[in-house]
Amino acid sequence: PYYIDLRVLPSFPENFRKILTQLIWVSDTLVGEENFDKIASTESAGIPWGSRVAAYFEKPFIYVRKKAKAHGRGKKIEGVLRADEKVLLIDDLTTTLGTARNAVEAIREKGSEVIAYIPIFDRKQYSMEEKAKLGVPILSLISIGEFVDLLREKNKITLKEYEQIKDYHYNEARYALQVLSENRSEFLRKFGTELPRIIEGYKRLGEEERFREDPKRAKELSDLLEELEKLQKHS
């Protein structure tokens, strides 16, 4: 029900500068300039942010491609990265941590270490297991929950839009439950590889006050979790 496009922000210098200031503050205060040798970003949306932060700290900048180029020098990491260097990874947005994981693994393959990951916007559609696999502290500037609360508080979105976004994962849960009840093999095809993330996400939903206040929703969510956990155990 929503799409987050941060690529447009460099076209608005004042807003771009404000977010850069926050990235610099987190990098300096929560990570510490003395604790990283280089700054990295992912192609291509992270590059405007990471390169500017690197210039501020006068640190070398590199970026990681989604995959190595099929021509030229065939590099996956652009820039100079040596072994035993400590790297701060900056990105514009994360959803499932897939792009971050790709970058972290590429940097580790070179014998260096990512000491922290700073995405500007965090959609938080990853499980605790996936977060643990990343093995890097995540220092997001803002999450989807915080963002929509802020938009609603400032009357930038309607109550209907606010509820649509808040209900996004819940509605996904209902759809998954329907598919599971109708066709187990179809469920596995659609959701099988995402089971850990889905289960973790629905557990978080179950902890939200609004679900505890709605017995029907709570029951549907409980039924889904029970079925998913059974499926995970026997898959």
Q: How confident is the model at residue 2 (pLDDT cuts 50, 70, 90)?
A: confident
Confidence of residue 209 (pLDDT cuts 50, 70, 90): very low
Q: Does domain 9-153 have CATH number 3.40.50.2020?
A: yes
CB 152 within 8 A of CB 203: no
Two structure tokens written together for 129: 């297991």
Q: What pLDDT is stored for residue 217 in this prediction?
A: 62
Cα(80)–Cα(41) distance, rounded to whole angstroms? 13
Helix, strand, coil percentages, rounded to 5, for the chain: 60, 15, 30
Comparing 48-57, 77-86, 136-145, the range with the smallest average pLDDT is 136-145
Tell how strand 86-94 and strand 38-42 pair up: parallel
Query: What's residue 211's pLDDT?
Result: 47
Is residue 218 within 8 A of residue 226, CB to CB? The reply is: no
- Tens digit of pLDDT for each residue in 136-147? 999 999 988 889
Q: What does the pLDDT look like over 159-182, one tens digit per residue?
A: 888 877 877 655 655 666 666 667
Rounded to two decimals, the pTM is 0.74
- Per-chain mean pLDDT for the chain: 83
Burial of residue 11, with CB atoms counted within 10 A of its CB: 0-12 exposed, 13-18 middle, 19 or more buried:
exposed
Average pLDDT over residues 46-71: 93
Helix 168-182 crosses helix 215-234 at what angle (to 10 degrees)? 60
Map out the domains of the chain as residue ranges: 9-153, 167-234
